[in-house]
């Protein structure tokens, strides 16, 4: 006999299902119920830094858009600070750094507006390149998928990023780099996520 | 003194795998490559925080939060209550819990749900609340109905409530489903059975809780939710890794 460890087990995950919008974005499901839905304003009005739009589509193993997916974004502000007691400092009033992203049900296209995050501290030493953490749930996804979005105009920082560098297959790192363009004066980054198949996006066990 | 360190690694043998041929939608939506394991950094040990300004007091009462004045949804009135804990058994206070479900007939108020059971005009089907300082939460609702879904030709989902929880870090983010004690459809559900371990499935089955039932009003079910726990740093981490 040995002493028993008294840890609990984490509740196992289950798919968010096709009707995830009812719970997390009821307006998209087709009805108004809450005074305010959560997660539609990531940066708030007072955030410093460059205003950007991120857009993309999630693609399944058949090459088709995933039209019922929901994403959550979690990011630092332009100074690399997360809005959290352990986030490295204070953030602008109204900056939450978290958002919910839903698709156009007809096309699967999604987009969100935010500010470009700054570099953040490494785990113990060094610096992480600017990035946005993403969490993806949908029908057919049994446990939420974590990935990261990096920026293609940060080539030097990306080359030194400790997380990109632990991805052994260098060509897979490119799946995490969003591509910058400008449209009508607005900075837009394109970030398509491939769940499976050619150029499958790198997903993390965080 | 110890201080909070990294979160315990997720037990991927306890969670369902991404790919399960019997849950057909997972087949083309499951990554084929292995996940890359990351040690925690600042973006993982932090996460969004919510307060009472974000929600309203009625948000946790699904019997009232969409009903016309003086009316109620059809169905068996239930209370769902429990605690959000971490793997160390400590309560997770002030964290957002969101729920959504079908109505008593098994129909969702969603423009994509076309099941022939009717929409209930007095039932929205979603709610949210914050755990209190002891990690405790509760909702009032009607028990959802079972419903058919396209997987095998005659598959039925057991009655369930979807549950979304944040915890205090992005590593703890979790969506799962609550099932009800005694439901004969649990055993044959391909989504339930994406979870391999029977004990893990049992962790998602809410217990009928007669002590918490409100006499002549509502039956109660108890559902505790466990999020990842966090190590205490007894010695400084070595300055290596990433």
Among residues B68, B65, B67, the alpha carbon closest in space to that of B56 is found at: B65
**Taking residues B200-213, what's their average pLDDT?**
98
Query: Would you place residue B241 in the very low, low, confident or very high pLDDT band (cuts 50, 70, 90)?
Result: very low
Query: Between A and B, how many residue pairs show a Cβ–Cβ distance under 8 A?
Result: 277
pLDDT value for B165 = 98
- pTM for this prediction: 0.96
Give the ranges where chain A is alpha helix by DSSP (H): 20-24, 26-29, 155-160, 162-165, 170-173
Per-residue DSSP letters for B142-196? EPPPPEEESSSTTEEEPSEEEEEE-TTSGGG-EEEEEEETT-TTSTT-TTGGGS-
pLDDT at position B236, please? 61
pLDDT in tens, B1-49: 556 789 999 999 999 999 999 999 999 999 999 999 999 999 999 999 9
Each residue's pLDDT tens digit, B209-236: 999 999 999 999 999 999 999 988 776 6
Q: Which residue in A66, A82, A140 is closest to B26 by CB distance? A: A140
- pLDDT tops 60 at residue B242: no
Q: How far is CA B69 from its chain centroid?
A: 29
Residue B52, SS3 per DSSP? coil
Q: What is the four-CA torsion angle of B75, B77, B80, B81, rounded to 10 degrees?
A: 170
How is residue B220 written in tokens?
A: 């109660």
Tell me the nearest-neighbour CA distance from A205 into chain B, angstroms. Answer: 5
Q: Which residues of chain A have pLDDT under 50?
A: none
The structure tokens 């030194």 sit at: A160
- For A135, half-sphere exposure in the C-beta direction (CA atoms, 13 angstrom radius) is 26
DSSP state of B61: B
| Residue in A75, A87, A200 closest to B32 by CB | A200
Distance of CA B120 to the CA centre of its chain: 23
Q: What pLDDT score was predicted for residue A122?
A: 86
pLDDT band at B103, cuts 50/70/90?
very high
d(CA A136, CA A58): 9
At B239, the pLDDT band (50, 70, 90 cuts) reads very low
DSSP lists the bridge partners of residue A186 as A183
Q: Which residues of A touch B112 (CB under 8 A)?
A: 18-19, 29, 68, 105
- The pLDDT of residue A166 is 95
How far A183 CA lies from chain B's nearest CA (Å)? 30
Rounded to an integer, what distance in angstroms lies between the CA atom of residue B131 and that of residue B58? 15
Q: Report the distance separating Cα A166 and Cα A162, nearest Å.
A: 6
ipTM confidence score: 0.96
How many other CB atoms are found less than 10 A from the CB of residue B13?
9
Six token digits for residue B201: 């499935």
Average pLDDT over residues B71-93: 98
- B238 band by pLDDT with thresholds 50, 70 and 90: low
């Amino acid at each position: 006999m040995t002493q028993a460890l008294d840890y609990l087990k984490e509740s196992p995950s289950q798919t968010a299902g096709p009707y995830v919008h009812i719970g997390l974005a009821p307006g998209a499901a087709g009805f108004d119920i809450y005074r305010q839905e959560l997660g539609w304003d990531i940066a708030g009005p007072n955030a410093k830094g460059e205003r950007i739009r991120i857009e993309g589509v999630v693609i399944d193993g058949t090459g088709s858009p995933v039209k019922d997916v929901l994403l959550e974004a979690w990011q630092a502000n332009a100074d690399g600070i997360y809005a959290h007691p352990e986030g490295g400092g204070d953030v602008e009033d109204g900056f939450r750094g978290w958002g919910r992203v839903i698709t156009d049900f007809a096309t699967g296209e999604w987009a969100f507006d935010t500010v470009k995050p700054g570099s953040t501290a490494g785990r113990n030493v060094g610096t992480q390149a600017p990035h946005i953490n993403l969490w993806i749930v949908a029908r057919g996804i049994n446990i939420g998928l974590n990935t990261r979005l990096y920026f293609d105009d940060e080539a030097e920082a990306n080359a030194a990023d400790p997380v990109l560098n632990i991805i052994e297959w260098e060509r897979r790192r490119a799946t995490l780099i969003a591509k910058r363009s400008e449209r009508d004066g607005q900075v837009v980054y394109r970030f398509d996520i491939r769940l499976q198949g050619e150029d499958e996006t790198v997903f993390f066990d965080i | 003194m110890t201080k909070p360190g990294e979160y315990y690694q997720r037990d991927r043998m306890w969670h369902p795998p991404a790919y399960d041929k019997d849950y057909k939608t997972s087949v083309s939506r499951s990554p084929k490559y292995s996940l890359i394991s990351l040690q925690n950094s600042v973006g993982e040990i932090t996460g969004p925080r919510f307060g009472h300004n974000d929600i309203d007091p009625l948000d946790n009462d699904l019997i009232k939060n969409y009903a016309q004045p003086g009316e109620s949804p059809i169905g068996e009135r239930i209370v769902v209550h429990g605690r959000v804990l971490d793997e160390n058994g400590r309560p997770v206070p002030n964290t957002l819990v969101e729920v959504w479900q079908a109505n008593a007939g098994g129909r969702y108020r969603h423009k994509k749900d076309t099941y022939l059971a009717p929409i209930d005009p007095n039932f929205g089907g979603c709610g949210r609340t914050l755990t209190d300082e002891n990690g405790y939460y509760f909702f009032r609702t009607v028990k959802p109905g079972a419903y058919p879904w396209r997987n095998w030709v005659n598959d039925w989902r057991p009655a369930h409530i979807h549950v979304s929880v944040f915890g205090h870090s992005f590593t703890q983010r979790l969506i799962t489903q609550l099932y009800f004690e005694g439901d004969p459809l649990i055993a044959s559900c391909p989504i339930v059975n994406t979870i391999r371990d029977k004990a893990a499935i049992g962790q998602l089955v809410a217990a009928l809780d007669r002590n918490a039932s409100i006499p002549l009003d509502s039956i109660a079910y108890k559902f505790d939710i466990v999020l990842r726990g966090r190590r205490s740093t007894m010695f400084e981490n070595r300055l290596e890794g990433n």
